[in-house]
Amino acid sequence: MKKIGLLGPKGTHSEEAALWLKKFLREDWRLEICADIFDVLTAVREQTFDAGLVPVENSLEGSINVTLDTLARSDTLTVARELVWPVKNFLLTKPTANVQAVKKIFSHAQPLAQCRNFLRQNFPEAEIVSTASSARAAEIVAEAKEIFAAIGTERAAKLNGLAATKIPADANNFTRFFEIRHRPRDAAPIETFDGDKILLICQIDGSRAGSLCDVLAEFARRNVNLTRIESRPARTILGAYIFFFELDTDAGDDKLRDAIRAVYDKSIWLKNLGTFPVINA
């Protein structure tokens, strides 16, 4: 049975997404709960788990930096698939609580940001408290003697005996998850591209004018479409950056191979994290 790591405790968006994906793929998974995303990725790197399902980007609030930074600094992690997950947030309270009396609202930083307008309009005086996960926020509300609330999933409400009120959804609120697996350092180079996307991570010489433009031109002249570009600090010197490129595979293997080799030649270093399918929930 394959062991899949994910952010816990039970009731997170990560767990909901993993349960849906497990059913969709009809695979026999055992879900392994971790305290944070870094722990999930570390367990995959050390091969304690067969894979990990971690968020990489939210359409409203942007990238999950711990995921990007860990992928950039690992030589053995690869992307097996992407899941695009529609996010549904709920206000969680004790069934008998007077919602108007709520003084503190708990959740992970991402749901809090996603529901910023709702909180401002309905709870302008409430203290907003960030927690390690939305499911942990639900546990805090269930255990508290005071009138608290959490933002989380409907499953978290059921697990903790809480009432769930759906928060008006933004139609564009999606989270992209990556299924991450371990790939040996001595594995053969990736030369075929039979999925929907490719993820490349590289560092270029930012001190040279036009260096990023030169890299992007290698994709453009071969009609390789970039679906996403992201930069993160290289953590070496101020002003040094790592770039994440996600590519469509429509251009074909030959053009993709040529583009990746050309970008490799213009980079300080480059990693190919693999080709993967995209699944929309």
pLDDT tens digits for the chain (281 residues)?
899 999 888 888 899 999 999 999 998 889 999 988 999 999 999 999 999 999 999 888 888 999 999 999 988 999 999 999 998 899 999 998 888 889 899 998 888 988 888 999 999 888 999 998 888 999 999 998 888 999 999 999 999 999 999 998 766 889 999 999 998 776 656 666 788 999 999 988 766 777 888 889 999 999 999 999 998 887 777 767 889 999 999 888 889 999 999 999 988 999 999 899 999 98
What pLDDT sits at residue 205?
79
Q: What are 186's two structure tokens?
A: 């001595």
Report in angstroms the alpha-carbon separations of 21 from 29, 53, 150, 169, 179: 10, 10, 25, 22, 10
Q: What domains lie within the chain, and their CATH numbers? A: 1-87+172-187 (3.40.190.10), 90-166 (3.40.190.10), 190-275 (3.30.70.260)
What pLDDT sits at residue 190?
67
What pLDDT sits at residue 189?
63
What pLDDT sits at residue 114?
87
What pLDDT sits at residue 181?
95
Q: What are 175's two structure tokens?
A: 């989270």
Report in angstroms the alpha-carbon separations of 281 from 21, 47, 226: 8, 28, 22
Dist. CA 275–CA 78, nearest whole Å: 9
The pTM (predicted TM-score) of the whole model is: 0.85
Q: What share of the chain is helix, strand, coil (3-state, %, to 5)?
A: 30, 35, 35
Dist. CA 118–CA 101, nearest whole Å: 16
Residue with tokens 């929930």: 281
DSSP 97-125: --GGG--EEEE-HHHHHHTHHHHHHH-TT
